[in-house]
Amino acid sequence: MIKEKNDTKIEMILKDHNYDSANLQCIGTGKEGQTFETEKLIFKYFPDKKIIPETTLNFIKEHILDNQEIQGLRRITDILETDTELIFVSPNMHCFPYRGGDDKGTLHILKDAHRNGYVHTNFKPENLMYSEGNVLKLIDVGRDVVPLTDSLFKNMVERAFLTTYYYDSPHLAKMMSALHTENRNINEMQLRTYSQKLFLILGDEHE
């Protein structure tokens, strides 16, 4: 019942903003809301817009929305709002899933984040997809996309490391949660090697 109710709501909002909702299908449900698609577009629907803090939403509008310089995130081309609801509009990239082990891809996203001043605080395998051209991207754009700080970027790097090398571990979620504790169950030497690769990439960027 909830799904059908939201289907009707999103169709009304899309109609009000002159978007075609023909063949609209729900392709996923998460904590923030639902994701729908048509042949050409992706719509991330937030039934309660307050789930995204106002400062975060303003950052997305000012720095992420239709920013063609950003290559590490699913592109947001439009944001539709009602008094209580929110929809992020993106091109349908016809993605295929991330299978792990792609350090080149995850490092590319980290470089892009650092260059464009954003952090994704929920870097994990489920939030990654390959777009056309085999480009790895974070596809879940919402409250987890925030302005870059040193501490948040460090955590993003560590989550990206785990996503790269421990993507198929049954303990991945616990390992992510333990990053801020003394019980970090990761290979610190391997992490340093991964971080050094990133530092070299970022260094090349400024030369």
Give the pLDDT confidence of 62-111 residue by residue, as tens digits.
999 999 999 999 999 999 999 999 999 999 987 899 999 999 999 999 99
**Is the domain of 176 the same as that of 79?**
no
Looking at residue 183, which CATH number applies to its domain?
Answer: 1.10.510
pLDDT for residue 1? 33
Whether residues 73 and 165 share a domain: the answer is no
The whole-number pLDDT of residue 129 equals: 95
Q: Which of 91, 107, 132 is the last residue of a domain?
A: 91
Kindly list the averaged pLDDT for each block of 10 residues, start to end, along the chain of length 207: 63 95 91 93 96 97 97 97 96 89 97 98 96 91 97 97 96 94 88 94 66
Tokens of 107: 């490092």
Looking at the fold, whether 42 and 83 belong to one and the same domain comes out as yes
Q: Are 118 and 188 in the same domain?
A: yes
**Same domain as 125, residue 28:** no
Q: Report the CATH number at residue 21.
A: 3.30.200.20
The pLDDT score that the predictor gives to residue 204 is 61
Residues 130, 157 share a domain: yes
172 and 103, same structural domain? Answer: yes
Residues 154 and 178 in one domain: yes
Question: What is the Cα–Cα distance from 33 to 153, expressed in whole angstroms?
Answer: 26
Q: Please tell me the distance from the alpha carbon of residue 65 to that of residue 70, in angstroms, as a whole number.
A: 10
pTM of the model: 0.91
As a whole number of angstroms, the distance between CA 94 and CA 133 comes to 11
How many domains would you assign to the chain?
2
Q: In this structure, are 200 and 102 located in the same domain?
A: yes
Residue 47 burial by Cβ neighbours in a 10 Å radius (0-12, 13-18, 19+): middle
Of 74, 91, 108, which closes a domain?
91
Residues 114 and 53 grouped into a single domain: no
On whether both 21 and 36 belong to a single domain, the answer is yes
Share in percent of the chain as helix, strand, coil (round to 5): 45, 20, 35
Q: CA–CA separation, 3 vs 21, rounded Å?
A: 16
What residues make up the domain containing 157? 96-205
CA dihedral 128, 129, 135, 139 (to 10 degrees): -60
DSSP code at position 24: -
For the chain, where are the alpha helices, taking DSSP H only?
2-16, 54-59, 103-116, 150-165, 172-177, 188-205
For 86, what's the count of Cα atoms within 13 Å in the CB-facing half-sphere?
20
Q: Same domain, yes or no, for 132 and 44?
A: no
